[in-house]
Amino acid sequence: MVSSTSPDAMLLAAHAGDRDAMAHILRVYQPDLRRYAQKRCLISDVDDAVQEALLLMARHLSAVRQLASFSGWMFRVVQRECRRLGRVAFKQDPYEEALVDQWMAAHTPDGLRLDLAAALESLPPHALQVVLLRDFEELSIREIGERLGMDVPAVKSRLHRARVMIREYLLA
């Protein structure tokens, strides 16, 4: 019964609270998330990152507003877990995730949008350009470099500096 239902229908059912649909989605996404984590995590953290991501998905799926962005959201969760587990392993926290979580919890979605727009407006034009190309137009680093006439390391550096400026603006 479950396997004959379309993936979109399963996702909608899980979003509405159907436990069988949720279990099915967890089984379906696990291999893809594991492959993704193998590229992003330390080898010893792969299973932990996937497990945490699946738990978060099960807990927060009903909060996802646009189910079309579900896959991207899941891969971001795995990426974040890989970073978090890596920081724990090396006993460092360059991203101060607890501070970011606390800041986000204190803001409404509309407030977050306004603050992000203000942070983007505060960027110098060259930094804003690379952020918009990467995060809004979803170009690859290589595509951004080709468009701007820059090499890949320069694009990565500019994007990193721009994101640091956004973070500092938002958390200041």
CATH of the structural domain 1-94, one choice from 3.20.20.140, 2.60.40.3080, 3.90.226.10, 1.10.1740.10: 1.10.1740.10
**By the 8 A CB rule, do 62 and 15 touch?**
yes
- What sign has the CA pseudo-torsion 154, 160, 161, 166? positive
Instruction: Give the residue ranges of the chain where pLDDT is below 50.
Output: 1
**By the 8 A CB rule, do 73 and 81 touch?**
no
Closest-CA residue to 37 (of 89, 85, 70, 2):
85
| pLDDT for the residue 81 | 84
Element containing residue 48 per DSSP (H, E): helix 46-60
| pLDDT for the residue 96 | 63
| pLDDT for the residue 90 | 62
Residue whose token pair is 């973070």: 167
| Alpha-helical segments (H) within the chain | 7-15, 19-40, 46-60, 70-90, 97-105, 109-121, 125-131, 141-148, 152-171
State how far the Cα of 64 lies from the Cα of 84, in Å rounded to an integer: 22
| pLDDT for the residue 46 | 82
Question: What are the structural domain ranges in the chain?
Answer: 1-94, 96-172
pTM here is 0.47
State how far the Cα of 128 lies from the Cα of 163, in Å rounded to an integer: 9
Would you identify the CATH topology of the domain 96-172? Arc Repressor Mutant, subunit A (1.10.10)
